[in-house]
Amino acid sequence: MKRRNALIAAGAFGVAAAAATPALAEVVDGRGDRPGKDRFVRGADISGLIKNEDYGAVYRRANGRKGDAVEILAENGVNCIRAKVWVDPVDGYNTKDQVVALGKRAKRAGMDLLVDFHYSDAWADPGKQHKPAAWASLSFADLKTAVYEHTAEVLTALRRAGVKPTLVQIGNETNGGLLWPDGRWDQLEQMAELLTAGCEAVADTVPSAKSILHLAEGGDNGAFRWFFDNAVANGVPFEAVGASYYPYWHGELSALGANLNDLATRYGKPLYLVETAYPFTTEDSDGFANIITDPEPVAGFPSSPENQTYWLEQIAAVMRAVPDGLGKGVFWWEATWTGVEGAGWDPADPASGNGWENQALFDFDGRALPGLRTLGRL
């Protein structure tokens, strides 16, 4: 996602709103399954939660009663959290220790964990894949070793804390590769070697976890086929495919469905929509301009709690319809990232704000929105 705060500021993406109106699809109720089983994942990225809490964020159940955000997610049926990890962030957030802390909280609440490795000190996405400062001068051989060791270190810390992730992302939105320039898209063999190093660390450290390769632009079948054909040709031992899909950026819902169906048929691997979101309002709560301000981010669908829920249902139905049961789950991106002064998007700028709070699953008073209950009942 979304590092969109930075991406939009840099002009890396424009908004491509979908104009079609999909019919409301039947959504299967997958409640009642248990952690660790081969179940439909009803996930929430909560990478910003600890920082938000440290700066005073309050979370409430739908009835207004205060509570722990992780527990509120679990009470509503969310069964997996997603947490990103940076190598050496300047503000001290999204570190190994914090991923472990979130993982322990998730386990206590009966939820699984997806670890999202960015292999950077800050946001990594299609517009930027900067090396961590400590890795900047490494030879390529040493860079591969650093990827392996960093991945293994974080996963070992989780395992020792009694937390075994079920899913591990090797890179974040790596449409253009990772760890530029060594692993950029035009260095295919080196890109594959870096991805392989991460996948091998997962297999060696937490063999029960599935390694995911993740791309943005979930409706762009050509981009996915190019990337994954090359990953297969170069022997990357990935076990699952991850996609981001934002309806206002990534094309019509039918394009998402066509892409997912083709990926399932072509590669035969589990598919996860690891990022999606939709606004519940056009307002902002912290004085920092929101990324999505259009009253109708998708034509015919104004920003509202009802349409936030509607799009979640539609996206989940598309995932459920993937052939051979390979559509395995959906994650809402930054479900708990409400607007709190000091908890902005830029780790290097304490004054930065939050351009995403109108797409969280908690409103400006910290109260759980209907979309959270919908997520937990997919």
- Rounded to 10 degrees, the C-alpha dihedral 275/278/283/284 comes to 0
Q: How far apart are CA 294 and CA 198, in angstroms?
A: 39
Q: What is the mean pLDDT of residues 2-23?
A: 32
Q: What is the mean pLDDT of residues 248-271?
A: 98
Q: How far apart are CA 164 and CA 206, in angstroms?
A: 7
Which pLDDT does position 296 carry in this prediction?
Answer: 96
Which pLDDT does position 350 carry in this prediction?
Answer: 80
Is 189 designated active site? Answer: no
Query: 205 pLDDT band (50/70/90 cuts)?
Result: very high
Which pLDDT does position 64 carry in this prediction?
Answer: 98
CA angle, 325 then 231 then 159, to 5°: 70
How far is the CA of 227 from the CAs of 195, 222, 233, 309, 348, in angstroms?
12, 9, 10, 31, 32
Query: 96 pLDDT band (50/70/90 cuts)?
Result: very high
Q: Strand ranges (DSSP E) for 91-205?
A: 112-117, 167-170, 177-178, 183-184
DSSP letter string over 330-375?
EEETTTT----TT--S-TT-TT---S-GGGSSB-TTSBBPHHHHHH
Q: What is the H or E stretch that residue 307 is in?
A: helix 305-320
DSSP state of 74: H
**Single-letter amino acid code for the residue at 144:** K
Query: 262 pLDDT band (50/70/90 cuts)?
Result: very high
Q: Would you say the C-alpha torsion 43, 184, 15, 286 has a positive or negative sign?
A: positive
Which pLDDT does position 12 carry in this prediction?
Answer: 32
Which pLDDT does position 272 carry in this prediction?
Answer: 99
Which pLDDT does position 324 carry in this prediction?
Answer: 98
- Strand-pairing partners, residue 84, are 116
Q: Is the pLDDT of residue 178 over 70?
A: yes
CATH numbers and ranges of domains, the chain: 4-375 (3.20.20.80)
Which pLDDT does position 289 carry in this prediction?
Answer: 87
CB atoms under 10 Å from CB of 361, counted, come to 32
Per-residue pLDDT tens over the stretch 27-63: 333 344 444 556 899 999 999 999 999 999 999 999 9
For 87-90, which contacts have Cβ atoms below 8 Å and span 24 or more sequence positions?
A: 87/118, 87/119, 87/120, 87/121, 87/132, 87/134, 87/135, 87/150, 88/121, 88/132, 88/133, 88/134, 89/121, 89/122, 89/347, 90/121, 90/122, 90/347, 90/348
Per-residue pLDDT tens over the stretch 291-347: 889 999 999 999 999 999 999 999 999 999 999 999 999 999 999 999 999 999 999
- Alpha carbon 119 to its chain centroid, in Å, reads 15
Q: What is the mean pLDDT of residues 65-76?
A: 99
What is the number of helices (H) and of strands (E) in the chain?
Answer: 10, 10
Q: Is the pLDDT of residue 93 over 50?
A: yes
pTM above 0.85, yes or no: yes
- Alpha carbon 187 to its chain centroid, in Å, reads 25
Which pLDDT does position 25 carry in this prediction?
Answer: 30
Which of 173, 200, 252, 357 is flagged as catalytic? 173
Per-residue pLDDT tens over the stretch 276-307: 999 999 999 888 888 889 999 999 999 999 99
Q: Is the pLDDT of residue 6 over 80?
A: no
Per-residue pLDDT tens over the stretch 116-139: 999 999 999 999 999 999 999 999
Query: 20 pLDDT band (50/70/90 cuts)?
Result: very low
How far is the CA of 194 from the CAs of 10, 147, 235, 292, 305, in angstroms?
27, 7, 12, 34, 41
Q: Is the pLDDT of residue 109 over 50?
A: yes
Which of 193, 200, 275, 334 is flagged as catalytic? 275
Which pLDDT does position 15 carry in this prediction?
Answer: 29
CA angle, 218 then 220 then 224, to 5°: 85
DSSP letter string over 166-179?
SEEEESSS-TTEET
The two structure tokens encoding residue 37: 């089983």
Q: What is the mean pLDDT of the chain?
A: 91
Q: Are 241 and 267 in contact (CB under 8 A)?
A: yes
Is 275 designated active site? Answer: yes
Which pLDDT does position 125 carry in this prediction?
Answer: 97
Which pLDDT does position 230 carry in this prediction?
Answer: 98
Q: Strand ranges (DSSP E) for the chain?
A: 41-45, 80-85, 112-117, 167-170, 177-178, 183-184, 210-215, 240-244, 271-275, 327-332
